[in-house]
Amino acid sequence: MSKEALIEALNKDLANEYQAIVMYTTYSAAVKGSARLQLVDFFQSEIPDEQGHAQYLADKIVALGGVPTTTPAPVPSAETPREMLERVLEAEKKAVEGYSARSEQAKEAGELGLAIQLEDMIVDETGHYEETKKLLDEWS
Ligand SMILES: [Fe+2]
Ligand SMILES: [Fe+2]
């Protein structure tokens, strides 16, 4: 993969991180009913990780000679708490898959520091995925 293609892929990842920040912020504001007691803190607790990922990606894109996107990927709409958790689960799964592919591409491009950092982000996103899955599995 060329450096340009790697920068382009990292910019898609960055747009997805901004999406995650907007998604967690919006869902935590919008969630209603008794689930609100659980989910406000759950959604908001994910935001610092995603902000850290976005900052890392933006810094790396500039270091590679690119221009970081400022536009989040669109946030899927969700009405009920279950729908919100389902959308979150999909997004976190996509993040794990994306960073798994990106880490391999970074290795191929000789960017070992980036590859290792992306592996660390896979750990974070896997944690987000698993916590969401546990909530959703027993959701009534
Ligand atoms: Fe993230
Ligand atoms: Fe995440």
Under 8 Å between Cβ of 58 and 68: yes
Residue 115 CA to ligand 2 center (angstroms) comes to 18
Three-state SS for 99? helix
Neighbouring residues of the ion ligand 2, judged by CB less than 5 Å? 92, 125, 128
Task: Please report, for the domain that includes residue 16, its CATH number.
Answer: 1.20.1260.10
- Tens-digit pLDDT profile for residues 77-126: 999 999 999 999 999 999 999 999 999 999 999 999 999 999 999 999 99
CA 27 to CA 92: how far, in whole Å?
A: 15
Model pLDDT, residue 74: 98
pLDDT at 140: 78
Domain that residue 21 falls in:
3-137
Give residue 9's pLDDT band: very low, low, confident or very high (50, 70, 90): very high
Determine the Cα–Cα distance for residues 133 and 23; give it in Å rounded to an integer. Answer: 17
Average pLDDT estimate for 17-40: 97
The pair of structure tokens assigned to 133 is 């899955």
Q: Which ligand is nearest to the CA of 126?
A: 2
What distance in angstroms lies between residue 39's CA and the mean position of ligand 2's atoms? 15
CA of 57 to the centre of ligand 2 (A): 14
**How many domains, in total, are found in the chain?**
1
* Alpha-carbon span 63 to 83, nearest angstrom: 38
pLDDT in the model for residue 1: 83
Q: What is the pTM of this model?
A: 0.96
